[in-house]
Structure 1
Amino acid sequence: MSTPATSNGRKAGRCCASWPGAPSATVNRSREARWSRLEASPPSPAPAMRVVLVPFSCLYLLAGLCQAAEPARIGITVGALDNPFYQALARGAVQAAHSLNPAVRVTSLSANFTLAQQQRQMRELIAQKVDLILLGAVDSHAIAPQVRAARAAGITVVAVDVDAPHVDGTVKSDNRQAGEIVCRYLAQRLHGQGRLLIQGGPPVTSVSERIAGCRAALATFPGITTINDGANGLGSSLGGQRAMQRDLQRFTRIDAVFATNDRQALGTEKALDAAGLRQVLIGAVDGSPDIERALKLPGRIVASASQSPYLIGREAVLLGMRLRRGDGGQRLVTVPVALVTRANLANYHGWQSLVPPSGSR
């Protein structure tokens, strides 16, 4: 296995004066371990950023963190580092870690949405004696034994993006809200009449919460018939495309599709293109760069609930270090989402933005 990413070896100094910009990062692959590894270099100075969304991001908290022992090693294991969402999350975590300790060593691993691989990665991070693990679980329940083992070894574990059992804390988007705002928008675009397909995804809490939010929103539209395909779009474009191909064979009429993430939405659109169905509306969750590009062009994708993966990663490091100090306070940080459509796309600044697009609520 290749050596974890390290900083340039500068002696850790005082922090909390300002937030430096996000560090540059590249994705490399280890053929032996088959892990994608994101190696980050120390950040370069940049103007301080104004934090407006998440309550833990405030100067007095950072000042408190700097009085504690700074993290020496942090491990990150997430669904797939070829996904821009997880790349942005890892960048946010690395930026926060280097702000607290420029000499920190951060290892970012890609589980490729494979439970066995993530279990191996958790065991490896435990063997490395990291101080903090950020866990984007690929299975919200089956990862429990590895979480318990990490905590028994004195490692703080913070779940990111999705829930996981026995963790010390969690930082995630308001996934129920995401499902609600997208499906409400789709129902409104259908003028309250039609058949809306809910396309399933991986067995994680973020997906189930989005579906629950979607169903809650559609319950207020009696003219909308909900179709649940029961499929797993695998959180990927190919998975979404294959799920949609099967759905088109099963259901004679579909007026709109709610895909539980942007990548599945892109695959869904490909399947609809191939079938010549150009009137079906698609909504999703993520607010990814790919969806930004799609919304700039005419097409079936009409909305996405934007997440803030950069903030999720950054806040997870801050929460983890606060918990390592033994401070009280909440252990769940929920980052709000916002609806992005063609109407407000000009005001949306993507995953690096700290402010939701105006007119999105």
Structure 2
Amino acid sequence: MNVKKIAIAATLLSIVSGTVVGCTNVPNNGNTATNTDPKNVKLRSVGVTLGDLSNPFFVVMAQGAEKEAKKIGGDGVRATVVSSGYDLNQQFNQIENFVAANTDMIILNAADSKGIRPAVDQARQAGKIVIAVDTPVEADVDATVTTNNVQAGEISCQYIADRLKGKGNVVIVNGPPVTSVIQRVDGCLKVLAKYPNIKLLSKDQNAEGSRDGGLRVMSDLLVTFPKIDAVFAINDPSGVGVDLAANQAKRQDFFIVGVDGAPEAIQAIASKDSLYAATATQNPRGMTQKAVQVGNDILHGKKPESPNILIPAKLVTKENVSTSTGW
């Protein structure tokens, strides 16, 4: 196990053994905004359900939520972070547990933007504050905090189009059917549509947002298509998997652009030997910190000016990677 994997494992261990525990044993704290003067309400508990805690992006999101909750509510606040593993049924159960435990607010990174609606509706009917993060949901939440995912797709694929000078074969390595992924792909397709000499070879293969998925999908695509000039991966873990597939197949004929600004992607971009050329950065820590801030304001009777809060994406390339601070 390399140093990076050890660090990630240590972080996950600290989450599991510290404040991230099953929420069904959390006592009823009586913090219900509907029957309490908002001025006297104190944040006591936050429930966070994220896509996949084996992905460092979500580990950083968990850290951001926990840190902001303790900053607002003190050491007595209870932050419960769980991983859905992109399993809709599991996330349903997690939200039901948060509601049963009378959690003050639920921070939701949806496993399925459409399918999660009944669980969100039940939580809202129970008077719970629900803030969507990273990906919007097709449900009535109190607020949504996301990266500007359309912009992330646009700047990524504009880089591809510019580098190819408007001509070449492009592959999109897609991901889970959540709004953030759909928006990134839509942004990419909008840009590529302006270039009639760019041929899109594949756009629907779901790599599940993971390194293993990226390796699997790209290995198949490399067999199918002998000539590829560029790959847009919907996130950096799948992009890293694409890079691994290229190394295994000894293919060097294309470059990779991802989304996240993940540490390993930044390292790959900085390397002279990597096919990784760029990544549209996100701010996972900032997203959940903002979500907890907004949820706390709502708990105290103050709604945000706009329920949709977008965080701009920036493109990191080999030309500016030395100035990137990462997560």
What is the TM-score when the length of structure 1 is the normalising length?
0.79
Report the Cα distance in structure 1 between the residues aligned to 2:265 and 2:40, rounded to whole angstroms.
41
- Other-structure match for 2:160: 186
Alignment match, 1:157: 130
Cα pair distance change 1:28/1:116, threshold 3 Å: farther
Q: Does 1:39 align with 2:34?
A: no
- RMSD of aligned alpha carbons: 1.8
Q: Does the 8 Å CA contact 1:160/1:316 hold for their aligned counterparts?
A: yes
The one of 69, 72, 77 equivalent to 1:104 is 77
Residues 163-182 of structure 1 aligned to structure 2 (within 5 Å):
163-164=136-137, 165-182=139-156
Per-residue deviation, 1:221 = 2.3
Question: Secondary structure at 1:182's aligned position in 2?
Answer: helix
**Structure 2: distance between partners of 1:38 and 1:203:** 31
Could you tell me how far 1:301 is from its partner in structure 2? Answer: 0.6
Equivalent residue number for residue 42 of structure 2: 70
String of CA shifts for 1:267-316, please: whole Å, max 9, x gaps: 11111112221121110100001111111212111000000001001000
Is 1:343 aligned to residue 319 of structure 2?
A: yes
**CA pair 68-217 structure 1, distance change in 2 beyond 3 A:** farther
Residue aligned with 1:27, SS? helix
Q: Deviations over 1:193-236 (max 9, x none)?
A: 10111111001001100001101111232321122341110010
2:104 counterpart of 1:131: yes
Q: Deviations over 1:80-130 (max 9, x none)?
A: 112111111111111211111102100000111211211111111111110
The 10-residue stretch of structure 1 (284-293 or 227-236) with the greater mean CA deviation from structure 2 = 227-236
1:94 alignment partner in structure 2: 66
Indicate whether 1:120 and 2:96 are aligned. no
Q: Please give the per-residue CA displacement for 1:321-351, whole angstroms capped at 9, x wherever unaligned.
A: 2222332421111001100011111111112
Report the 3-state secondary structure (helix = DSSP H, G, I; strand = E; otherwise coil) of the residue aligned with 2:103.
coil
Kept in 1, the 8 Å contact 2:11–2:59? The answer is no
Call closer, same or farther: CA 1:105–1:265 in 2, change over 3 Å.
same
Partner of 2:237: 263
Q: Given that residues 26 and 39 in structure 1 are in contact (C-alpha distance below 8 angstroms), is that contact kept between their aligned partners in structure 2? A: no
Check conservation: 2:270, 2:322, Cα contact below 8 A: no
From 298, 306, 319, the counterpart of 1:323: 298
Q: Quick one: distance in 2 between partners of 1:268 and 1:110? A: 24
Instruction: Return the offset for 1:28.
Output: 3.7
Secondary structure of 2:326's partner? coil
- 1-structure distance, mates of 2:40, 2:314: 35
Asked if 2 retains the 8 angstrom alpha-carbon contact of 1:90 and 1:108, the reply is: yes
Structure 2 residue identity aligned to 1:112? G
CA separation in 2, counterparts of 1:127 and 1:28?
A: 26
Indicate if the aligned counterparts of 1:237 and 1:267 stay in contact, CA closer than 8 A.
Answer: yes
Report if the CA contact (8 A) 2:152-2:314 is conserved.
yes
Letter in 2 for 1:330: S
- Give the alignment partner of residue 84 of structure 1, picking from 43, 53, 56: 56
Alpha-carbon distance in 2 for matches of 1:163, 1:268: 26
Q: Does the CA contact (< 8 Å) of 2:39 and 2:300 recur in 1?
A: no
Provide the TM-score with structure 2 as the length reference: 0.87
Q: CA deviation at 1:38?
A: 7.2
Cα distance change on mapping 1:136 and 1:37 into 2, 3 Å: farther
Gaps of 5+ in 1: 1-24, 30-35, 42-65, 352-361
CA contact (8 A) 1:37 1:81 kept: no
Alignment gaps of 5+ in structure 2: 1-9, 21-37
- Tell me how far apart the structure 2 counterparts of residues 38 and 174 of structure 1 sit (CA, whole Å): 33
- Give the aligned partner of residue 237 of structure 1: 211
Map 1:47-58 to 2 at 5 A: none
Aligned to 1:332: 308
Whether the 8 Å contact between 1:159 and 1:171 is mirrored in structure 2 is yes
- Residue number in structure 2 paired with 1:27: 12
1:304 and 1:340 in contact (8 A); partners too: yes
**Distance verdict in 2 for CA 1:179–1:327, change over 3 Å:** same
Q: CA deviation at 1:67?
A: 5.1
1:222 aligns with 2:201: no
Larger helix proportion of the pair = 2
